[in-house]
Amino acid sequence: MAQYLSQTLGQQMRMEQRLTPQLIQSMAVLQKPVAELEAFIAQALESNAALELAEPTVPAPEAMAAETAGEPAVAESPQERGFSRLNRFSRDYDFDGAERAPFSPRRASDDDGDAKMAAMANTAGRGISLQEHLLNQWSLTEFDEQLRRGGEAIINRLDPDGYLRVPLAEIAESARPPVDVPTLERALPSVQELEPAGIGARDVVECLLLQLDALPGDNTIERTIVRTHLDDITHNRLPAIAKATGFSTGEIAEAIKAIGSALYLHPGYLVGQRSAPAIRPDVVIDYAETGGGLSVRLARGNMPHLRIRDDVAALARSKENGKETRDFARKHVEEAAALIDAVHFRRQRLLEVARAIAEKQREFFDLGPSGLKVLRMGDLAQELGCDPSTISRTVADKYVQTPRGIFPLRYFFTGGTETHDGETVGWDRVKTRVRELVDGEDRADPLNDDQIAATIKKEGIEISRRTVAKYRQQLNIASARQRRQY
């Protein structure tokens, strides 16, 4: 059959959605937590000639009086009035200069040098690394030059947790100056004698045995258990250990308790400071001062006062300048306006979502996790008239400070089920109930997953054994066999 190719002209109508650069930027800014937002705006202030920080406006005294209207008048001294007014200004209008600093305009002064020196003096120094700690000890030992180089080569290849997971042959090949494998084999026992005990082990058994060697007293039971019955300890098979070793169950239980309290699986982490990154909340939800309701506000850093410079805007409109100058100014003005709109959109959307959380999860603030209700992003997006992906970007990597602590915003969005009475129950409430049942059980006869599921079903919540097992694992709760105490 012959086939023909032809070209024709035609018209058709169709609808399609295209993301403009401004919309893409708005979504990117919406997703940034407060720390990233500050860094992003600081970079924009340096690169965009049309963008500048505006001084925050101070409300008029009449507006301040209107806010406190209806509250009972309390007699205060002039000094008390001054302090209360300062506290109110600091709380409501973010006048705390110490926390407003990436957005405070820099003013040059003769004290800049002293301020920088003071900041350097108050900055915490870098903690010593594991390799530095061990090399300092190794430098005090008396070995021949070849053995000393072998020990240094081993120390430099230790993992941060203190384990030696690289074969000695590979260390010998990469060492400069070269060291042979027999030298490394002679140096390794000496490296393993350094502090903290357990350094240089090739596996968990060797690590624990090295630490037992450094402990005083008779550790025969502990050494026997570690050498041959670590898997039985993990699964809490004490009768099997007693049958194989001849020790009593009580002796084995005491030995396991001593192992857990005196030994470390990762001794390298004992050296230096391992600080977790600080969490900065984006939203603050607290009880209102005037009643039993909740107040919702953005934390400092979410509301930078940005504006377009008048001189650059005038330069973009003026016809007296050349086209290249006008195009340059117009480009910066458009980029600055898009950024200001994106920051404003982020602020408004974040406040809307936070207020919806405060309203729909009201019982959480009074009862804790057991008060969490079912709240889905799709339902909230429909209520706010946006796409669920917008809600997801709004809560991504953001935290809220509450009277019960700091929580991820995503924590308040949870699925759930219905009780026999028709009440919606969030899955976090079910998890809390699982934790309560395990905490109150008889450790000599712990509850298994079937028994926990049956107990929760009697309370009107339909749940399967598989769901209980999944929640138990998420809560880091061991199985009934492992929780049993002999």
Q: Could you give the maximum distance between any two Cα atoms of the chain, in Å?
A: 102
CB-based contact 266:204 (threshold 8 Å): no
CB-based contact 177:190 (threshold 8 Å): no
CB-based contact 378:252 (threshold 8 Å): no
The CATH T-level fold of domain 416-483 is Arc Repressor Mutant, subunit A (1.10.10)
List b or e across 346-364, with b for residues whose CB sees 16 or more CB atoms inside 10 angstroms: bbebbbbbbebbbebbeeb
CA 368 – CA 43 distance, rounded (Å): 40
pLDDT of residue 209: 92
Query: Can you read off the two tokens belonging to residue 137?
Result: 């000890």
Cα torsion 208, 209, 214, 220: sign: positive
- The candidate with the shortest Cα–Cα distance to 202, out of 219, 188, 223, 222, is 188
pLDDT of residue 117: 56
- The candidate with the shortest Cα–Cα distance to 334, out of 24, 55, 26, 51, is 51
Q: Is 354 left (phi over 0), alpha (psi -120 to 50) or beta?
A: alpha
- The candidate with the shortest Cα–Cα distance to 304, out of 264, 339, 271, is 339
Beta strands, E only, 43-200: 51-53
CB-based contact 219:211 (threshold 8 Å): no
CB-based contact 282:302 (threshold 8 Å): yes
What is the three-class DSSP state of 126?
coil
**Tell me, what amino acid is at 430?**
V
CA 239 – CA 242 distance, rounded (Å): 5
Angle at 174 between CA 168 and CA 175, to 5 degrees: 85
CA 138 – CA 128 distance, rounded (Å): 15
Query: Can you read off the two tokens belonging to residue 38?
Result: 């500050």
Give burial (CB, 10 Å; 0-12/13-18/19+) of 392.
Answer: middle
Domain boundaries, the chain: 130-270, 283-412, 416-483
Peptide bond into 196 cis (omega under 30): yes
Q: Which residues have C-beta within 8 Å of that of residue 364, sequence separation ≥ 6? A: 371, 372, 373, 404, 412
CA 71 – CA 472 distance, rounded (Å): 49
CB-based contact 427:63 (threshold 8 Å): no
**Tell me, what amino acid is at 222?**
E
**Tell me, what amino acid is at 189?**
P
Query: Can you read off the two tokens belonging to residue 478?
Result: 């061991």
CA 144 – CA 357 distance, rounded (Å): 68
Phi, psi (rounded to 5 degrees) for 53 = -85, 135
The pLDDT profile of the chain, 486 residues, written as one tens digit per residue, is 556 677 778 788 877 656 567 778 888 888 888 888 888 999 999 998 888 887 665 444 433 333 333 333 334 444 444 444 434 444 444 433 333 333 333 344 444 455 555 555 555 555 688 889 999 998 888 888 888 888 899 999 999 999 999 999 999 888 888 888 899 999 999 999 999 999 999 999 999 999 998 888 888 888 998 888 888 888 888 888 888 888 888 888 888 888 888 899 999 988 876 666 778 899 999 988 877 788 899 888 777 788 888 888 888 888 787 888 888 888 998 999 999 999 999 999 999 999 999 998 888 888 887 788 888 888 899 998 888 888 999 999 899 999 888 999 998 988 766 666 656 666 777 888 888 888 888 888 888 888 888 888 888 888 888 888 888 888 888 888 878 877
CA 335 – CA 427 distance, rounded (Å): 44
Cα torsion 141, 146, 151, 156: sign: positive
CA 419 – CA 439 distance, rounded (Å): 23
Residues facing 483 on adjacent strands: none
